[in-house]
Amino acid sequence: MKKIMCILLLCFTGFLSAQIPNQLSNSEKVYGLSKFWQEANYNFVYLNKVDKAKWDSLYKAYITKVQETENDFEYYRLLQKFCAFLKDGHTNVYFPEHIQDSIFNTNFGKYRLFLTNIEDRAIITRVNESKKKEIPIGTEIIKVNGTQTSDYLTEHVLPYISLSTDYILKDWGVWRLLEGYAGTSYDLELKLPNGKIKNLTLTHSITEEEEVYPPFEERSLLDMKWYDNDIAYVALNSFSDPKIDSLFYERIPELKKAKALIIDLRNNGGGSTGIGQEIFNHLTNDTILYGSKFQSRLHVPSFKAWGRWTEEKDTINDSWAKQAYLSFRDEYYHNFPYSPDTLSVAEKEFLKDKRIIVPTVLLIGHNTASAAEDFLIFADNQTHMTKIGEPTFGSTGQPMLFDLPNGGKARICTKKDTYPNGKEFVGLGIQPDIEVGKSLSDYMENKDPALEKAIELLKGEK
């Protein structure tokens, strides 16, 4: 068996070497690694949470490893693994376009598979139309290339993904479980919904069949419907397009009839905080809104130099010594001036008779991210609002983008966002007041337990 696996590995490596360019010189490879290491050391806002001795040791080891990569794909994969050590959702390494365009995730020629993490299992939740009977929705991938799926994820997938929260890492790991270059093959062991075991070998190539089952759900920027006659449901699916504000304004006369309200943010990956705030202004009587507080690292070389000889006891009642002490440890920060957002006279006049203040549920989940999380921070002190669902994505900030050799890109998170009182949510997620997840049986029966809980709660509060 080991001989067969070695032969297959050699064949696959030979295929990759023939298909993927090896255009980078060793000096360029070392430069790209060093560039990322340098930018992280100077600009990564969460460097204080990193084991710096291990980080530096890893860098030294990778100087040799990057030079041993056989092609640009292997090189960038190694940089992604190096980046993943930082565990931040806004800190990433990206393939050059000429490589990225040849990487597949769901396409396997005659097959197309979409995976979802449900109850910590890799579940097939969508296939191409012609394969829906052969591979029913709800089928679980239990082995990949002879290895238990959980072990395969741990060894071959998760180490290459940089994310802030463990549960999102699991989600993305399952989603990218079968990601690979054209020609990559996987031997899968599947457990069908009826309990039967099926073996299947898949190879990445273009799938020409466009129809999938179940069909992709079409989501508008804003979706609205009614439950129990007087509970209004509004899905705010993105804050990236200012048009959503106008769409919401158009619905206000109708929403004023509601005795309770559900705002669904579960598919809102963010955008502009200001766009979301325009809508939030209509959901509160407050004229002063408390948004996120943020800071960035402040590097003054002389202070860092002085900090080498500064001890903690020297910092007592001495701001100069304190800055030196913290600078040497890469823990000195610039706190951006903070003040709550106060509505102007014109904004107050505009909002007159346009506010919807009723018992409100905010539906949240793993895909509620960035500006949508900022929306939740505004909502944190609203007594008429209840968060139901699952913890949010748990990552935001201001990334700094820079170039890597031969068309690659990377970004480093430079800004730390917190609640106004300093409470952290990056790496933790914003927690629901009532946690409601979705089981495999819920998925198979097309149930939405979080929405059901919201309706149940609001019926009792109207």
Sequential DSSP letters for 196-260? -EEEEEEE-B------EESPPPP--SEEEEEETTTEEEEEE--BS-THHHHHHHHHHHHHTT-SE
Q: Average of pLDDT values for 334-338?
A: 94
For 327, how many CA atoms within 13 A lie in the half-sphere containing its CB? 21
Q: Average of pLDDT values for 51-57?
A: 97
Give the sign of the dihedral formed by CA 84, CA 86, CA 91, CA 97.
Answer: negative
Residue 293's closest CA among 248, 227, 337, 245?
Answer: 337
Whether residue 74 contacts residue 82, with contact meaning beta carbons closer than 8 Å, is answered with no
Q: Average of pLDDT values for 447-456?
A: 97
Q: Average of pLDDT values for 419-439?
A: 96
Q: Identity (one letter) of the amino acid at 351?
A: L
Residue 8 pLDDT greater than 70, yes or no? no
CA distance 165 to 267: 18
Query: In the prediction, which pLDDT does 229 show?
Result: 83
Per-residue pLDDT of 166-209, as tens digits, reads 999 999 999 999 999 899 999 999 999 999 999 999 999 999 99
290-294, 363-367, 448-452: least confidently modelled range: 290-294
Q: Average of pLDDT values for 206-219?
A: 93
Token pair in block for residue 262 = 């559900």
Residue 5 pLDDT greater than 70, yes or no? no
Contact partners, residue 98, CB within 8 Å, separation at least 6: 21, 407
Residue 7 pLDDT greater than 50, yes or no? no
Query: In the prediction, which pLDDT does 17 show?
Result: 40
Per-residue pLDDT of 343-386, as tens digits, reads 888 888 888 889 999 999 999 999 999 899 999 999 999 999 99
Distances 436 to 111, 265, 308, 365 between C-alpha atoms, Å = 33, 14, 50, 9
Query: In the prediction, which pLDDT does 19 show?
Result: 65
pLDDT bucket at 218, cuts 50 / 70 / 90: confident
Q: Average of pLDDT values for 291-298?
A: 94
Residue 16 pLDDT greater than 60, yes or no? no
Question: Phi and psi of 144, rounded to 5°?
Answer: -125, 120
CA distance 220 to 289: 28
Query: In the prediction, which pLDDT does 9 show?
Result: 38
Query: In the prediction, which pLDDT does 122 show?
Result: 98
The total of other beta-carbon atoms located within 10 Å of residue 64's CB is 9
Whether residue 409 contacts residue 91, with contact meaning beta carbons closer than 8 Å, is answered with no
Query: In the prediction, which pLDDT does 462 show?
Result: 60
16 or 217, which is more confident? 217
Residue 430 pLDDT greater than 60, yes or no? yes
Residue 114's closest CA among 102, 127, 130, 132?
Answer: 127
Residue 334 pLDDT greater than 70, yes or no? yes
Residue 4 pLDDT greater than 70, yes or no? no
Residue 2 pLDDT greater than 50, yes or no? no
